[in-house]
Structure formats: structure tokens, C-alpha cells
Structure 1
């Protein structure tokens, strides 16, 4: 309804409230809490835990 494209919908960006409502956050909020789940390659932080193995093996 707001014509917004999130482009990074992942479990790390979802907040679930007691009434089962889900809100999407940005990765800046999530990355502080889940910093250990990211791996830096070529100055880009990647969500290593959620990436396909072939994506990881093709990184140079």
C-alpha cells in the first residue's frame, strides 16, 4: 500500500510481536544484533548463514 520495495526480506530483518504481527526492519538494525552471522568479502557484508553453498564457493 505504501509502494515500498524492501529488497532484503530475511529472517534477520523480521520482528515478531506477541500478537503475531510481523514487522520488517532494515539490515542496519538487524546487523548490530546478528553481527556474527555476516561474513565480509570485498568490503561487502554477506549473510553467510543464509547463502547457498554455490554462492560462497564462487566468491573470489
Structure 2
């Protein structure tokens, strides 16, 4: 969990995959908390694991 001014970055694990979620407002999230996410597909940035290129 990293507050960065107007955003909060949260590294989360879904199964065995780590993701980074960015909240546009302050959130009270502590390490180990369960976070329910409902991502906006149009706002998602996905990258190929092998090449690092955006999908």
C-alpha cells in the first residue's frame, strides 16, 4: 500500500498473480486486507509477461 498524494497504489494478489491497483482517492487499506475490485476494462493497462509490451 503506497499513498502517492491524490492516489493510493495497492499491490494485490489474485490467485498467484500480483497486480497493482490505483485508487484515485485515499483508501484505508492495510497489508493483508482483502480488497474487492471491480476494474473498468477501458482503464486497465495489461502487459505481456515475456516482452513487457502493452497488450
> Whose RCO is larger (CA < 8 A, sep 6+)?
2
Where is the helix percentage greater, Structure 1 or Structure 2? 1
In the superposition, the TM-score normalised over structure 2's length comes to 0.29
Relative to the length of structure 1, the TM-score reads 0.28
